[in-house]
Chain A
Amino acid sequence: MSLIENNTEQCGNSLTRELTQNPLKKIWVPSSRNGLPDRHISQKKVCMTNCPTLIVTVGLPARGKTYISKKLTRYLNWIDVPTKEFNVGQYRRECVKIYKSFEFFRPDNEEGLKIRKQCALAALNDVRQFLTDEGGQVAVFDATNTTRERRDTIIRFAEQNGFKVFFVESVCEDPDVIAENIVQVKLGSPDYTHCNTEEAVADFMKRIKCYENSYQPLDEELDRDLSFIKIIDVGRRYLVNRVQDHIQSRIVYYLMNIHITPRSIYLCRHGESDLNIKGRIGGDSGLSARGKKYAETLGQFIQSQNIHELKVWTSQMKRTIQTAEAVGVPYEQWKALNEIDAGVCEELMYEEIQQRYPLEFALRDQDKYRYRYPKGESYEDLVQRLEPVIMELERQENVLVICHQAVMRCLLAYFLDKTAEELPYLKCPLHTVLKLTPVAYGCKVESIDLKVEAVNTHRDRPTNVNVHRTTEDALQTVPSHL
């Protein structure tokens, strides 16, 4: 015999707040007596930091500071920490429309010094605005910051504004690495549009020299009270000092896992599945005949690419594993790569979802990134789930990831720096491989259609997302199926 209670919530205590479930995210929040949600409670997965953080790069030119700044910014934004980079060089280019030569950077060029200082201050001002007024949580101040004096200015600025400071210094004396950096990102800089390669390289080397004499690297003793990471020789060695909080710990972990060895990442979905053909979402079905054909073709494609030491990853769902089996190389299964859990909507067609859960269907169209299926997941949840996969992708070299539509969108958004709004609508058709190759500050994408027909599973955002819309409006963008 079980005890069954009557269902009314009795708050004996008038101080206890009622909970209501946010209809979009399915998060329980306390509502005050008039039924409106109270703001009091934090719903973030983990409190990253109590106050905004200012990341300050340090290092001679061509040491990878901007590369690190951009990559770190992309990563932090992807894990939902609003971050922005502020590159002082860009402010300088705004100010001094035409770059003449390295002479601008000479330490005895007073005019130059004045302008450069103004630019730094302008950038700091924008930093303050971003962190205080615009809801930013992390700002990356990307400049050489090679003198202790400059760094002290920044520290004072941060103290005045209640920001934490974390320095990221890159130290490298390998001439090959520096030369490669110059070729990759300096030659194409706006500063050198009018020069040929040799002139540009010569000028840039002299520019570096201007900084070298006054360079005061972060010092274990003198700077022992500062929080920083010193990256030596592109990650061969790290010196980490006084990590203060969670976000700094995550930043350090990220920086220690990235590398710059050339490699390619191949992303694709499983072959067309039986449920795909029927227009049903989720489930754990096997490949259709065309899906199997795709798997074979994929195998041939991979062979033809002659990829050095390729790692192959799949989810734990049958359709991705079947696809990998045809490629014929060892693969690893990750549960974290499983498709988004559609909860009560698993294995339904969109038409059925509209029929049974019209409200849910509309809410999803209103905010597809944050929308969580009842008893299922949201894209936001997916990102959190996929973070270890991203971390391991950063560590690896050549990898082929065979996954699913929503998962692939999340991974792609990370590599291509797409916003939360764009992410759920990225086009990732079946039977198409995306080859990502890091280049300069970003990622080159090649889309390779393996020419095996498949249904289209992409559903665009319909025009009408109102909860009272007609069925016709709701189903406006549903792709055709059996």
Chain B
Amino acid sequence: MPRELTQNRIQKIWIPSKDDKPSMPRAPRGGPHLANPPTVIVMVGLPARGKTYMSRKLTRYLNWIGIPTKVFNVGEYRREAVKHYSSYDFFKSDNEDAVKIRQQCALAALRDVKNYLTEEDGQVAVFDATNTTRDRRDMILEFGAENGFKIFFIESVCEDPNVIACNILEVKVSCPDYQDCNKTDAMEDFKKRIECYRMNYQPLDPDQYDRSLSFIKVIDVGRRFLVNRIQDHIQSRIVYYLMNIHVQPRSIYLCRHGESQHNLQGRLGGDSGLSTRGRKFAGALAKFVEEQNLKDLKVWTSQLKRSIQTAEALNVPYEQWKALNEIDAGVCEEMTYEEVRERFPEEFSLRDQDKYYYRYPSGESYQDLVQRVEPVIMEMERQENVLVICHQAVIRCLLAYFLDKSADEMPYLKCPLHTVLKLTPVAYGCKVESISLNVEAVNTHRERPEEVKRGPSTLIRRNSVTPLTSHEPFKKPRIDGLDEPIIREVMPAQLALCSASHTTLALSTQNLKKCCIECHEAPQLCL
């Protein structure tokens, strides 16, 4: 007898009723089961080849598309174990003590990998270390086989001295290992460190030794790729992602359409045009864009009138993406929040309970939005300077991707009207500048309601783990002597966008008010 179906009240997903034994796996994400056995991604390469850059970017992407992923950086474990870094001598292959310590650190990290994938619902673990010898990789393969994990290698090969020097300057000289050195000394020491590894480096060999392994070799920062034996969907997506990212300097500008007629009335969704102030913003945006003096700016809008009207004022070619349309509020489209509360009180309350997973009846959820918007993200990775003129929920999704915000934080990110967010990739993360164009607008932001506020411990995801080598139950600063903890949890409010839209209108007389916020990412990690 076929089982009865009931519709989950938040996600609006039909599932067999609870009374029956659920013998089949539910796929709440509405997508394929991406990685049934967990996957360990193993980085391979000499120092300063971008392994940590790729690890963190990939992890950010996978988490954003809903695959719980975490980075395990062996260098961090080493810094726990060896409190003070003296010099590259530590990395000499004949330094027996050091070799032992490094081996222990790798094992500790693998233990945490196992714990993450088996006990903590992780699906992908990124093992970020040089892994330059066959011995080390064989050990990892054994570890994978024992635990039923799939193993996928990502090797970065690069001999361009400019790229390497640039990497060292960007992320190594300011690394904790070199806090007491000047730049030149740091650079020198690091180069010798690389040499220590080079002597024993055994690159992946697709023709013989490693021909049955699954891996991608990234050559010369993406000029060329060698891909061997992709096993499954997740590996295929990882390869596609790695082939689309680049390291060219560029900026991404995100903003919403100008204030619309519906905004003025406090109405959700719809397809109304700009208000007078919205048109004023569009003009201010045009001026702003001109002043940025960018080469080759691509401008993207949604297919809703208000974003297109905004782009029109720029007088440059733009592309319309249906995928950038605002979240579909289904039966609640064009209502005010008061009307929603009146006519659909249960829905109203459910949304506040779990705003990320909540799907409007006959509409969408933030989770749906992420899936819809993913091709936009992929194309943004390929592009250089881009301006995206979109909508509140959409911009929150995009921002969460770039700033590595969790599903819990995403629906509450502050993205006021008439404010441009300028994102510039830097080191391992993204610098954000919030630029208010000083045109008044209504505030459309709804805070997380008090009654359902949750403690900071739930659902805030940390992408790199604190080594559990110590018994301390609480996260502690990883490096003695540093004042700030490595991982700063930035609450949504802290994304302090200094637009004046939600305070009253005592505006400054400047035309533009700029606010620079340092990247929230952890300081540079290195081996």
- B partners with A: yes
Residue in A47, A286, A334 whose CB lies within 8 Å of B319:
A47
CA distance A384 to B236 in the complex (A): 20
A325 near B5 (CB under 8 angstroms)?
Answer: yes
- Contact (A322, B315) CB under 8 Å given A240-B225, A249-B244: no
Whether the Cβ atoms of A5 and B317 lie closer than 8 Å is no
Residue pair A239, B30 in contact (C-beta under 8 Å): no
Kindly identify which residue among A7, A41, A240 contacts B227, using a CB–CB cutoff of 8 Å: A240
Q: Which residues of A contact B225 (CB under 8 A)?
A: 238-241
> Chain B contacts of A346 at CB under 8 A?
362
- Complex interface: chain A residues within 8 A of B442 (CB): 3
When A41-B317, A331-B24 are in contact, do A239 and B236 touch as well, CB less than 8 Å? no
Given A2-B264, A16-B312, A28-B305, do A392 and B32 touch, yes or no (CB 8 Å)? yes
B243 at the interface (CB under 8 A from A): yes
User: Using Cβ atoms and an 8 Å threshold, which residues of chain B touch A19?
Assistant: 273, 305, 308-309, 312
* Least CB distance, A69 to chain B, in whole angstroms: 21
Q: Which residues of A, 383-400, contact B by the 8 Å Cβ criterion?
A: 384, 388, 392, 395
**B236–A395 CB distance below 8 A:** yes
Alpha-carbon gap, A47 to B304, bound state (A) = 19
Given contacts A335-B368, A335-B371, contact A45 B323 (CB under 8 A): yes
Q: Which residues of B contact A10 (CB under 8 A)?
A: 276, 279
What interface size band does chain A fall in? 35 or more
- Contact between A41 and B320, CB atoms less than 8 A apart: yes
Encode contact with B along A312-341: 1 for CB under 8 Å, 0 otherwise: 000011100110011001111111100000
B13 to chain A, nearest CB (A): 6
Task: Give the distance to chain A from B260, nearest Cβ to Cβ, in Å.
Answer: 10
Let me know if A439 is at the binding interface, CB within 8 A: no
Contacts of B31 in A (CB 8 A): 332, 334, 388
A residues near B309, Cβ cutoff 8 Å: 19
Do B276 and A237 have beta carbons less than 8 Å apart?
no
B residues in contact with A100, CB < 8 Å: none
The interface bits of chain B over 171-189 (1 if a CB of A lies within 8 angstroms of the residue's CB, else 0) are 0000000000000000000
Q: In the complex, what residues of A have CB within 8 A of residue B406's CB?
A: none
Q: Are B319 and A44 in contact (CB under 8 A)?
A: yes
Q: How far is B323's CA from A44's CA once the two chains are assembled, in angstroms? A: 11
Known: A5-B264, A10-B276, A15-B315. A321 touches B5 (CB 8 A): yes
Is the CB of A13 closer than 8 A to any CB of chain B?
A: yes
Q: List 10 A-B contacts (CB under 8 A).
A: A3-B265, A3-B442, A28-B305, A41-B320, A46-B375, A252-B243, A286-B5, A322-B5, A325-B3, A333-B27
- For the complex, is B136 an interface residue (Cβ under 8 Å from A)? no
Task: A239-B224, A256-B236 are known; give 7 further A-B pairs, CB within 8 A.
Answer: A16-B313, A19-B309, A238-B226, A240-B225, A286-B5, A295-B2, A392-B233
A59 CB–B CB distance under 8 Å: no
Within 231-260 of A, Cβ neighbours of B (below 8 Å) are at 236-243, 246, 249, 252-253, 256-257
Cβ–Cβ < 8 Å partners of B283 in chain A? 13
Smallest CB-CB separation from B240: which chain A residue? A253
Q: B265 — which chain A residues lie within 8 A by C-beta?
A: 2-4
Please tell me if A61 contacts chain B, counting CB pairs below 8 Å: no
Contacts of B30 in A (CB 8 A): 316, 333-336
| Residues of the A chain whose Cβ atoms lie less than 8 Å from the Cβ of B32 | 332, 334, 392
Q: Are A5 and B303 in touch, CB under 8 angstroms?
A: no
What mask results when residues 236 to 254 of chain B are scored 1 for a CB within 8 Å of chain A, else 0?
A: 1001100110000000000
| CA distance in complex: A44, B320 (Å) | 7
- Asked if A242 and B223 sit within 8 Å, CB to CB, the answer is yes
* Complexed CA–CA distance, A42 and B308 (Å): 12
Asked whether A220 is an interface residue with its Cβ less than 8 Å from the other chain, the reply is yes
Q: How far is the CA of A216 from the CA of B75 in the complex (A)?
A: 45
What 0/1 pattern do residues 307 to 341 of B give for CB contact below 8 A with A? 01100110101111111000000000100000000
Q: Which residue from B239, B362, B375 sits with its C-beta under 8 Å from A256?
A: B239
User: Does A27 sit within 8 A of B, measured CB to CB?
Assistant: yes
**How distant is the Cα of A330 from the Cα of B25 in the complex, in angstroms?**
7
Q: Is A30 an interface residue (CB 8 A)?
A: yes
A9 interface hit (Cβ, 8 Å): yes
Query: Could you tell me the distance between the alpha carbons of A115 and B279 in the complex, rounded to whole angstroms?
Result: 65
Q: Which of A371-393 contact B (CB under 8 A)?
A: 375, 381, 384, 388, 392
Taking the nearest CB of chain A, how far is it from the CB of B441, in angstroms?
11
What is the bound-complex CA distance between A7 and B323, given in angstroms? 28
Which B residues form the contact surface with A (CB < 8 A)? 2-3, 5, 7, 12-14, 16, 24-27, 30-33, 206, 223-230, 233, 236, 239-240, 243-244, 261, 264-266, 273, 275-276, 279, 283, 303-305, 308-309, 312-313, 315, 317-323, 333, 362, 368, 371, 375, 379, 382, 442
Q: Which of B3, B227, B264, B362 contacts A238 (CB 8 A)?
A: B227
Contact with B along A16-31 (1 / 0, CB 8 A): 1101010000111010
Residue from B3, B308, B315, B321 within 8 A of A28 (CB atoms): B308
Tell me the number of A-to-B contacts counted with CB atoms below 8 Å: 156
A17 contact set on B, CB distance < 8 A: 312
Do B303 and A27 have beta carbons less than 8 Å apart? yes
Residue contact A395 to B243, C-beta cutoff 8 Å:
no
Q: Does chain B have a CB within 8 A of A43?
A: yes
Q: Is the CB of B233 within 8 A of A322?
A: no
Contacts of A175 in B (CB 8 A): none
B residues near A46, Cβ cutoff 8 Å:
319, 321, 375, 379
Contact A381:B322 (CB < 8 A) given known A257-B236, A325-B5, A332-B27: yes
User: Is the Cβ of A333 less than 8 Å from the Cβ of B13?
Assistant: yes
Asked whether A237 and B321 contact (CB < 8 A) given A2-B264, A5-B264, the answer is no
Q: Please name all residues of chain A whose beta carbon is closer than 8 Å to the beta carbon of B273 when the two chains form the complex.
A: 9, 19
**Complex CA–CA separation, A199 to B322 (angstroms):** 56
Q: Which chain A residues border B230 with CB–CB below 8 Å?
A: 256
Residues of the A chain whose Cβ atoms lie less than 8 Å from the Cβ of B5 = 286, 318, 321-322, 325
Q: How far, in Å, is B8 (CB) from chain A's closest CB?
A: 11
> Once the chains bind, are A241 and B223 in contact (CB under 8 Å)?
yes
Query: Top 10 nearest A-B pairs by Cβ distance?
Result: A335-B30, A330-B24, A325-B2, A238-B227, A240-B225, A332-B27, A326-B2, A3-B264, A2-B265, A321-B14
Contact yes or no, B243 A249, CB < 8 A = yes
Among residues of B, the one whose C-beta sits closest to the C-beta of A314 is: B14
Q: Is the CB of B233 within 8 A of A395?
A: yes
How distant is the Cα of A26 from the Cα of B303 in the complex, in angstroms? 9
Residues of A within 8 A of B239 (CB): 256
A451 within 8 A of B: no
Q: Does A40 contact B (CB under 8 A)?
A: yes
| A262 within 8 A of partner (CB) | no
CB of A220 within 8 A of CB of B224, answer yes
What CA separation (Å) do A3 and B264 show in the bound complex? Answer: 6
The chain A residue sitting closest to B274, CB to CB, is A9
Residues of B within 8 A of A392 (CB): 32, 233
Q: Which of B24, B233, B321 has the most CB of A within 10 A?
A: B24
Of chain B, the residue at the smallest CB distance from A315 is B30
Instruction: Tell me the smallest distance from the CB of A8 to a CB of chain B, in Å.
Output: 10
A2: chain B residues at CB < 8 Å are 264-266
Q: Note all chain B residues with C-beta closer than 8 A to A321.
A: 5, 14
Whole-angstrom CA separation of A329 from B23 in the bound complex:
9
Chain B residue with Cβ nearest A377? B322
Contacts of A21 in B (CB 8 A): 305
CA distance A104 to B372 in the complex (A): 53
Query: Among B226, B275, B304, which residue has its beta carbon within 8 angstroms of that of A239?
Result: B226
Q: How far is the CA of A346 from the CA of B333 in the complex (A)?
A: 15
| Cα distance, A375 to B523, chains bound together (Å) | 46
Shortest CB–CB separation between residue A181 and chain B, in angstroms?
Answer: 22
Q: Is the CB of A246 within 8 A of B379?
A: yes
Kindly report which residue of chain A lies nearest to residue B303, judged by CB atoms: A27
Closest to B311 in A: A41
A423 to B151, CA, bound (A): 42
Task: With both chains docked as a complex, state the minimum distance between the C-beta of A365 and any C-beta of chain B, in angstroms.
Answer: 23
B296 to nearest A CB, angstroms? Answer: 11
Q: Which of A5, A30, A329 has the most CB of B within 10 A?
A: A5
Report the separation of the CA atoms of residues A329 and B379 in the bound assembly, to the nearest whole angstrom.
37
Whole-angstrom distance between the Cβ of B7 and the nearest chain A Cβ? 8
What's the minimum C-beta distance from A39 to chain B, rounded to whole angstroms?
A: 11
